[in-house]
Amino acid sequence: FSGLNKVVIRAVARDLTKCKEILEATIGIRNLFSFLATFLCLLVVLFFDYDKGTKLYIAIFSFSLLYKGLKNTVDTIYQAHEEMKVLAYVTITQQILQVPLAILLLLNGYGVLSVIILQLAVQLIVLLINFFHSRKIVKFNVFSKINFNWQYIKSGINFSFLGLLNTLSGKIDIIM
């Protein structure tokens, strides 16, 4: 639900003093969507004719959806407060950790499952460090109640739809 990120960034950038309030108004719905997406992936993979190994990889990798919502929330804090350097450092650090460790695993005979688990572990560790660092800017409740703010949801759907159209328009030559 990438459109919700844009709505939150726009709302927080308008009034930084309401950052905590806006985040807590949207994090419940973001968590709900993350759980629904994970559940949907786990449910749908059961109906595909994949071998058990592929189903396992998809199931394990789909758990990353659970913390993508929190990552997006933390990223919006930095974006709204114009702290882009932190986002760059986080991305670079994550890649510096993931790539060499994945190469080491593969050189030592470990397979795809190990690389997927490594990637999820590194993402989770970096997310936790990033989350605690973001609390220097604003402290918010990660487990806020689900609040159906229809204004945010409607705007989020509009932004998501526009993002989808933008992606499709850039790839239309591949489709045709």
Q: Global pTM?
A: 0.77
Residue 62 in 3-state DSSP? helix
Neighbours of 99 (CB within 10 A): 11
Interior angle at CA 54, CA 50 and CA 56, nearest 5 = 115
Backbone CA torsion sign across 31, 32, 34, 39: positive
pLDDT tens digits for 93-115? 999 999 999 999 999 999 888 99
Detail the DSSP E strand segments found in 50-174: none
Give the pLDDT confidence of 2-56 residue by residue, as tens digits.
788 888 888 888 888 888 888 888 888 888 888 898 999 889 988 888 888 888 8
**CA–centroid distance for 28 within its chain:** 14
